[in-house]
Amino acid sequence: MLNALWLGFFLIAAIAALAQWLIGGQAQVFAGMVQALFAMAKLSVEVMVLLFGTLTLWLGFLRIAEKAGVVQWLAWALGPLFAKLMPEVPRGHPALGLITLNFAANALGLDNAATPMGLKAMRELQTLNPRPDTATNAQILFLVLNASSLTLLPVTVFMYRMQQGAPDPTLVFLPILLATSASTLVALLAVGLVQRLKLWHPVVLAYLLPVALLLGGFMALLATLSGAALASLSSLLG
């Protein structure tokens, strides 16, 4: 599928360039395409080098956490919550710890670091799937929440902005926090409605209400600040 997509991108670009040359009379379009190819190749290497150090550091921390038994501890600590959200997954199952670490990596904005843990978690969930060709409710919930990606510290975005020369790379901290909080809440409510999850169960509320109240109070505080104060606070927190 990816090979077909990439081939499609190149073909569409070539057809568009031919149209600009033959119809629009822009003979320099091919020279511009060649320059863009080399410029983007250089940019991709620069971004890769910038991300490499940070991702290596965090992946190392997460590997240590896995070896130290943090995955198993998280699976135990969040067992009651996942028992209500993913009732078909047994308590203490390795998938629960991997899901938690995946969410933690996403919360830190480490998308590339979260990917291998997400794949491992999905593989563990697949071992519980009685119909291998059909996603289970647990897999669907995990995928939707993963896609909504609650981000508390968008490290990757900060690095991209810094690499592109933004004067204040952390200025987008608050907008990203508010946007991802809203997307995660909507994702959880939507899947909970479809799968008829017991989101109002006391156990679920005991886990989610403190987080919701904390974010709600923080947003209420932000509503009282001026634009300049919001920008300063976003930069400081970021």
Flag whether pLDDT at 223 surpasses 70: yes
Task: State residue 64's pLDDT score.
Answer: 83
Distance (Å) of CA 113 to CA 34, 57, 62, 69, 170? 33, 10, 9, 19, 20
Please tell me the predicted confidence (pLDDT) of residue 215.
Answer: 80
Across the range 131-152, mean pLDDT stands at: 85
- pLDDT higher at 139 or 54: 139
Tokens of 223: 């509503």
| Model confidence at 114: pLDDT above 80 | no
State the pLDDT at residue 161: 82
Distances (CA, A) of 11 to 8, 35, 183, 196: 5, 18, 35, 45
pLDDT averaged over every residue in the chain: 82
On the question of pLDDT at 143 being above 80, the answer is: yes
Torsion of CA 62, 67, 71, 74, to 10 degrees: -100
Task: Write down the pLDDT at residue 71.
Answer: 66
* pTM for this model (two decimals): 0.67
- 192-204 average pLDDT score: 87
Res. 207: pLDDT tops 80: yes
Q: Cα 168 from chain centroid? A: 22
pLDDT score, position 199: 84
User: Is the pLDDT assigned to residue 170 strictly greater than 70?
Assistant: yes
C-alpha 228/C-alpha 164 separation (Å) is 23
Query: What is the number of other CB atoms lying within 10 angstroms of the CB of residue 82?
Result: 23
